[in-house]
Amino acid sequence: MAEFLENIDKSWTLFLDRDGVINRKIVGDYVQSWGAFQLIPGVLESMSVFAKQFGRVIVVTNQQGIGKKMMDEAALNAIHNEMKKEIQQAGGRLDAIYYCPDLETKPNNCRKPGIAMALQARKDFPEIEFSKSIMVGDSASDMLFGITAGMYTVFVGYQAPKNFTSDLRLDNLFELASLIK
């Protein structure tokens, strides 16, 4: 087990990717409506544990479906509002959701692996210390985001990308919640 998990208290922040971590990723497409949003089993129970253990729980997500005009920000906000409602009803919480609508090809974009969303979170919540933060994601760009910002990294999922590194590798969020409890 990663020793850093033993140090978690309310001074720590949990950063979560969305697609592939909280909800099922649609391969080759985007979650464009609440009807297409499917929570991964164990997520709601996990979010309840995280709410008790972490001072801040924050989602950081690339959403280039907006940049591709496949959906708009209102549709994304509707999805996020429903997601937050379900998490709250299960005893969890999300303190903030940051998303980047930029296309991958846009120069100086805010997408992960860049850390613009982490810097915005710290601006909004000055108590955030990246050295007391964990980034949970399912891609190499999520891990690089966490590493670049100086966070601990937890890779979740079954298909690890090649040439990536993380502090911990688990199958899903529920495993992380079980280790933290």
Domain ranges of the chain: 18-180
Instruction: Report how far apart, in Å, the C-alpha atoms of 59 and of each of 1, 2, 17, 105, 180 are.
Output: 24, 22, 6, 23, 19
Give yes or no for a contact between 170 and 155, defined as CB atoms under 8 angstroms apart.
Answer: yes
Encode the chain (181 residues) as per-residue pLDDT tens digits: 689 999 999 999 999 999 999 999 998 899 999 999 999 999 999 999 999 999 999 999 999 999 999 999 999 999 999 999 999 999 999 999 999 999 999 999 999 999 999 999 999 999 999 999 999 999 999 999 999 999 999 999 977 667 778 999 999 999 999 999 7
Render 30-83 in DSSP notation, one character per residue. Answer: ---SGGG--BPTTHHHHHHHHHHH-SEEEEEEE-HHHHTTSS-HHHHHHHHHHH
| Residues linked to residue 65 through DSSP beta bridges, in sequence order | none
Which CATH code, of 1.10.1060.10, 3.40.50.10260, 3.90.400.10, 3.40.50.1000, is assigned to 18-180?
Answer: 3.40.50.1000
Structure tokens at 64: 């280039």
**Mind telling me the catalytic residues?**
17, 19
Through-space distance between the first and last CA atoms of the chain, rounded to whole angstroms: 13
